[in-house]
Amino acid sequence: MKLKVNGIEVSLTIDPETPLLWALRDEMGLKGARFGCGMAQCGACTVHADGIAIRSCVIPVGQLQDKAITTVEGLGADHPVIKAWLKHKVAQCGYCQPGQIMTACALLKAKADASPEDWDVAMGGHLCRCGTYPRIKKALAELTGREQSHSNHQETSDQEGVIHGGSYE
């Protein structure tokens, strides 16, 4: 089986029913996409297939042979979304952030002027245990040239870098 991942054609000897996540991590050594739930509910495993954000934990590799797969590793450090994430110190533990970044990239590619409501819809399926949602919204506001709308959630800080409150839902 052949896949095109981050612009490189890769040959794999693997069961076509194997979820893409395991092919990326175990067969190709690409560790950016993470296992979170195994049911496409948390977003940690999000990658792109032909520019569309997909949950790699539930998509068999056999369904992706003609698709261009992009992982967070394929974006490059100079990607505007990654730069915005770093500027706004989005990541705390960082576990969910590759999936969050990939979803933000797909959203902004489809709709460069995405509204805060668009952000909520696109990013709403991602779970972040550290609660960095307000920082993600600041990064998205910068990327779309929008002022951040007032959140219904109060953001507080107990200590530098620890954020409580805020969510997409």
CATH at 103: 1.10.150.120
pLDDT tens for each residue of 119-166: 999 998 899 999 999 999 999 999 999 865 444 444 444 333 433 344
User: 89 and 143: one domain?
Assistant: yes
Predicted local confidence at residue 147, as pLDDT: 63
Joined together, the tokens standing for residue 121 give 């819809």
What's the one-letter identity of residue 29? G
Q: Give the pLDDT mean for 94-109.
A: 96
User: 12 and 85: one domain?
Assistant: no
User: 117 and 43: one domain?
Assistant: no
User: 84 and 160: one domain?
Assistant: yes
Domain end residue (candidates: 74, 93, 113)? 74
Residue 18 reports pLDDT greater than 80? yes
Mean pLDDT score of the chain = 88
What's the one-letter identity of residue 4? K
Predicted local confidence at residue 67, as pLDDT: 96
Sequential DSSP letters for 73-91: GGT-TT-HHHHHHHHTT--
Q: Which residues contact 95 (CB under 8 A, 6 or more apart)?
A: 34, 36, 44, 129
User: 109 and 58: one domain?
Assistant: no
Please state which of the ranges 12-21, 40-49, 110-119, 143-152 shows the lowest mean pLDDT. 143-152
Predicted local confidence at residue 151, as pLDDT: 45
User: 55 and 110: one domain?
Assistant: no
The pair phi, psi for residue 99, each rounded to 5°, is -65, -40
In a domain, residue 36? The reply is: yes
Residue 104 reports pLDDT greater than 70? yes
User: 66 and 127: one domain?
Assistant: no
Largest CA distance in the chain: 51
Confidence of residue 31 (pLDDT cuts 50, 70, 90): very high
User: 118 and 152: one domain?
Assistant: yes
Please state which of the ranges 48-52, 62-66, 113-117, 146-150 shows the lowest mean pLDDT. 146-150
Alpha-carbon distance of 99 to 35, in angstroms, equals 10
Q: How many domains does the chain fold into?
A: 2
In a domain, residue 169? The reply is: no
Domain end residue (candidates: 16, 39, 74)? 74
Q: Which residues contact 103 (CB under 8 A, 6 or more apart)?
A: 43, 46, 53, 122, 123, 125, 126
Q: Give the pLDDT mean for 98-126.
A: 95
What is the residue range of 25's domain? Answer: 2-74
User: 14 and 89: one domain?
Assistant: no
Strand ranges, E, within 80-165: 156-159, 162-164
Domain end residue (candidates: 44, 74, 104)? 74
